[in-house]
């Protein structure tokens, strides 16, 4: 009898331990989360008191809180002011992405923004658009908050009639927590989407081409990973392309502060140009272009170049004219290359004043480039100069002599592309598209004015045309000591 009772007691103890173990596993064991996920969830947002007991539930709770439409920091594009007690964290984390990550994480993914369009733009009815777009976003170690707010703003402010899909291209990000959040976030969105992972760091240029290759939309819309689109942003872009598939159309790119994330509208009368050093620049659109547009301020601006981060292009046309130059590395210069190519090969570049997209403008890149940043950017610019600028490439080399030593790579396929497309000369581009450029279509020579005996060169000192130059020691680095003699 005692033996029987002992067996019953032993069986009871065993069962009790099984139940205790089961409860522990189900409710306390944190199954399904890596350490990086746990750290992420515990620190991401002050409204989250995470527990790790139910699969992806904590991540989903986080996303739900961040997608809340209740009033919060930064609403209607207002600045986010961080209290003084957190300034050390702001400073420490700024270098992660070269913007205020702490401020960004306090803004809802559903941040509200005013309708920045003019009354004339708002009155336009778009009834004949039959195109749908694939939105392609490439990211590498992007801040999770800006990336997801980019995607969420596209979802919130794009008509389902025109949005085919969203394609995210992960350019070999190294942040485990970012990957975990992106995967969970994509499960919540009501839009067709694809996530591509590149096996090794390939850069924005290659990443965009990989995304474009699988796109199903009639139009490709490329966006950077730290933007916010606004009301009515998409229709003006698609409408212009539906009328002429050789149009490449960009929105007005507004400024989102890298410090406070305040949304500041840009002037609608600016266009893109470039300097002798092959750097993109914003300028006031010329009087010639303003005259062509007339009094209707909804008329798109024909721009010599585009910034490159945000634009729409017919998908088939994109590949017909050579997509991107995949011989370029990582990032930089691809916008000038595609700008010259579109104009010289029969297309048109426009900025549509009825489309506004905000962009976080950083003062420097947070990323390292293999071989050095300058080497990569000079190499990309050199490929553009050698293929598209004809004899005018000398302006670039005189201004930036070190670019001559940057790796060029094989450009034979791009030269063949230009020949196959029957593209015009760069002189034609300067005369007809950008006569306002500082590079004169007709010039006698370019170089230095030098006193050989004293090794002194005439230097503009960065002054305007009406200013007086000075004599300084020759530095042989181009810049302010490069002068040209123009033919009358």
Per-residue pLDDT tens digits for 120-148: 999 999 988 999 999 999 999 999 999 99
Mean pLDDT to the nearest integer, 234-238: 99
- Confidence band of 112 (pLDDT split at 50, 70, 90): very high
pLDDT at 444: 53
Residue 62 domain flag: no
pLDDT at 393: 93
Mean pLDDT to the nearest integer, 4-9: 58
Q: How far apart are the first and last CA of the chain?
A: 121
pLDDT at 194: 98
Q: Is the pLDDT of residue 256 over 70?
A: yes
Q: Give the domain-ending residue among 439, 455, 476.
A: 439
pLDDT at 277: 87
Separation between Cα atoms, residue 40 and residue 191, nearest integer Å? 26
pLDDT at 48: 40
Do both 272 and 157 map to the same domain? yes
Kindly compute the dihedral angle of the four CA atoms of residues 296, 302, 307, 308, in this order, to the nearest 10 degrees.
110
> Which range scores top for mean pLDDT: 58-67, 263-272, 393-402, 432-441?
263-272
**Look-up of token digits 């290759």:** 213
Q: How do residues 344-356 score in pLDDT, each as one tens digit?
A: 999 999 999 999 9
pLDDT at 465: 66
* More reliable by pLDDT, 53 or 64: 64
Do both 377 and 297 map to the same domain? yes
347-351, 381-385, 403-407, 447-451: range with lowest mean pLDDT? 447-451
| Overall pTM > 0.85 | no
Residue 40 domain flag: no
- Confidence band of 70 (pLDDT split at 50, 70, 90): low
Do both 170 and 282 map to the same domain? yes
Q: What angle do CA 410, 412, 415 make, to 5 degrees?
A: 130
Q: CB of 231 within 8 A of CB of 157? A: yes
Residue 49 domain flag: no
Q: Is the pLDDT of residue 372 over 80?
A: no
Q: What angle do CA 217, 218, 219 make, to 5 degrees?
A: 90
- Listed in sequence order, the residues at least 6 apart from 445 whose beta carbon sits closer than 8 Å to its beta carbon are 484, 485
> SS3 of 448, please?
coil
Residue 13 domain flag: no
23-27, 227-231, 322-326, 407-411: range with lowest mean pLDDT? 23-27
Q: How do residues 293-308 score in pLDDT, each as one tens digit?
A: 999 999 999 999 999 8
Task: Tell me the pLDDT of the chain averaged across its residues.
Answer: 85
Number of compact structural domains in the chain: 2
Q: Is the pLDDT of residue 445 over 70?
A: no
* More reliable by pLDDT, 480 or 159: 159
Do both 312 and 453 map to the same domain? no
> Which range scores top for mean pLDDT: 53-57, 412-416, 473-477?
412-416
Do both 161 and 192 map to the same domain? yes
- Confidence band of 470 (pLDDT split at 50, 70, 90): confident
Residue 52 domain flag: no
Phi-psi region of 244 (alpha: psi -120 to 50; beta: other; left: phi over 0): beta
Q: How do residues 180-195 score in pLDDT, each as one tens digit?
A: 889 999 998 999 999 9
Question: How many of the other CB atoms lie within 10 Å of CB of 28?
Answer: 11
Q: Which residues pair with 189 in a beta bridge?
A: none
- Confidence band of 51 (pLDDT split at 50, 70, 90): very low
* More reliable by pLDDT, 109 or 478: 109
pLDDT at 54: 47
Mean pLDDT to the nearest integer, 378-405: 92
DSSP for 76-102, written as a single string? GGPPPPPPGGGHHHHHHHHHHHTS-HH
Burial class (CB in 10 A: 0-12, 13-18, 19+), 246: middle
Mean pLDDT to the nearest integer, 73-83: 94
Separation between Cα atoms, residue 135 and residue 220, nearest integer Å? 6
Percentage of the chain exceeding pLDDT 90: 61
Strands 133-139 and 163-170: parallel
* More reliable by pLDDT, 34 or 396: 396
* More reliable by pLDDT, 438 or 99: 99
What kind and span of H or E run contains 25? helix 2-27
Do both 400 and 481 map to the same domain? no
pLDDT at 65: 56
pLDDT at 24: 36
> SS3 of 383, please?
helix
Residue 8 domain flag: no
Q: CB of 193 within 8 A of CB of 170? A: no
Cα Rg of the chain (Å, integer): 27
Q: Is the pLDDT of residue 286 over 80?
A: yes
Do both 386 and 477 map to the same domain? no
Overall residue count recorded for the chain in this entry: 488
Mean pLDDT to the nearest integer, 22-43: 40
> SS3 of 431, please?
helix
Burial class (CB in 10 A: 0-12, 13-18, 19+), 88: exposed
Q: CB of 119 within 8 A of CB of 354? A: no
Residue 2 domain flag: no
Q: How many helices (H) and strands (E) does the chain have?
A: 17, 17
Q: Give the domain-ending residue among 421, 439, 457.
A: 439
33-44 burial, b if ≥16 CB within 10 A, otherwise e? beeebeebbeeb
Q: What is the residue range of 238's domain? A: 67-439
Separation between Cα atoms, residue 400 and residue 390, nearest integer Å? 17
Residue 295 domain flag: yes
Q: Is the pLDDT of residue 427 over 70?
A: yes
Tell me, what CATH number does 398's domain have?
3.90.550.10
Do both 137 and 221 map to the same domain? yes
Separation between Cα atoms, residue 368 and residue 374, nearest integer Å? 11
Do both 458 and 358 map to the same domain? no
Q: 279 is written with which tokens?
A: 């750097």
Kindly compute the dihedral angle of the four CA atoms of residues 27, 33, 36, 40, in this order, to the nearest 10 degrees.
-60
Do both 415 and 478 map to the same domain? no
**Look-up of token digits 């029987």:** 4
Do both 145 and 165 map to the same domain? yes
> Which range scores top for mean pLDDT: 63-77, 256-270, 434-448?
256-270
Do both 177 and 311 map to the same domain? yes
Mean pLDDT to the nearest integer, 28-44: 42
* More reliable by pLDDT, 336 or 444: 336
């Amino acid at each position: 009898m005692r033996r029987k009772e002992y067996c019953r007691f032993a069986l009871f103890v065993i069962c009790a331990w099984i139940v205790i173990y089961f409860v522990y596993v189900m409710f306390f064991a944190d199954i399904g989360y890596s350490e990086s996920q746990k750290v992420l969830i515990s620190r991401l947002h002050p409204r989250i008191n995470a527990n790790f007991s139910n699969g992806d539930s904590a991540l989903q709770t986080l996303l739900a809180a961040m997608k809340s439409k209740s009033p919060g920091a930064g609403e209607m594009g207002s600045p986010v002011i961080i209290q003084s007690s957190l300034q050390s964290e702001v400073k420490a984390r700024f270098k992660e992405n070269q913007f205020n990550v702490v401020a960004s994480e306090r803004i809802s993914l559903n941040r509200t923004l005013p309708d920045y369009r003019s009354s004339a733009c708002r009155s336009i009815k778009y009834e004949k658009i039959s195109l749908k777009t694939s939105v392609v976003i490439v990211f590498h170690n992007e801040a999770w908050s800006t990336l997801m707010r980019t995607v969420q703003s596209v979802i919130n402010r794009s008509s389902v009639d025109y949005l085919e899909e969203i394609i995210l291209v992960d350019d070999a990000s190294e942040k485990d927590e970012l990957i975990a959040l992106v995967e969970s976030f994509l499960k919540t969105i009501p839009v067709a989407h694809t996530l591509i992972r590149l096996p090794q760091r390939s850069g924005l240029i290659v990443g965009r081409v990989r995304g474009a290759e699988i796109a199903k939309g009639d139009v490709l819309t490329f966006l950077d990973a730290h933007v916010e689109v606004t009301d009515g942003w998409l229709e003006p872009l698609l409408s212009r392309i539906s009328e002429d598939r050789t149009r490449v159309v960009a929105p007005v790119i507004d400024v989102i502060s890298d410090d406070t994330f305040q949304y500041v509208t840009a002037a609608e009368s600016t266009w893109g140009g470039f300097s002798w050093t092959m750097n993109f620049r914003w300028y006031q659109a010329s009087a010639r272009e303003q005259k062509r547009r007339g009094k209707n301020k909804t008329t798109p601006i024909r721009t010599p170049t585009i910034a490159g981060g945000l634009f729409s292009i017919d998908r088939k046309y994109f590949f017909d004219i050579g997509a991107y130059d995949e011989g370029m590395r990582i990032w930089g210069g691809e916008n000038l290359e595609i700008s010259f190519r579109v104009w010289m090969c029969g297309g048109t570049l426009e900025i549509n004043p009825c489309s506004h997209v905000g962009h976080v403008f950083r003062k420097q890149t947070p990323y390292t480039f293999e071989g050095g940043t300058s080497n990569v950017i000079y190499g990309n610019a050199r490929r553009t100069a050698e293929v598209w600028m004809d004899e005018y490439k000398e302006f670039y080399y005189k201004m930036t002599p070190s670019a001559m030593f940057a790796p060029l790579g094989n450009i034979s396929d791009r030269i063949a592309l230009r020949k196959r497309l029957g593209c015009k000369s760069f002189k034609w581009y300067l005369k007809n598209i950008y006569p306002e450029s500082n590079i004169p279509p007709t010039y006698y020579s370019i170089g230095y004015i030098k006193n050989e005996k004293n090794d002194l060169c005439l230097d503009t000192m960065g002054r305007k045309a009406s200013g007086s130059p000075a004599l300084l020691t020759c530095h042989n680095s181009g810049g302010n000591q490069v002068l040209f003699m123009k033919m009358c």
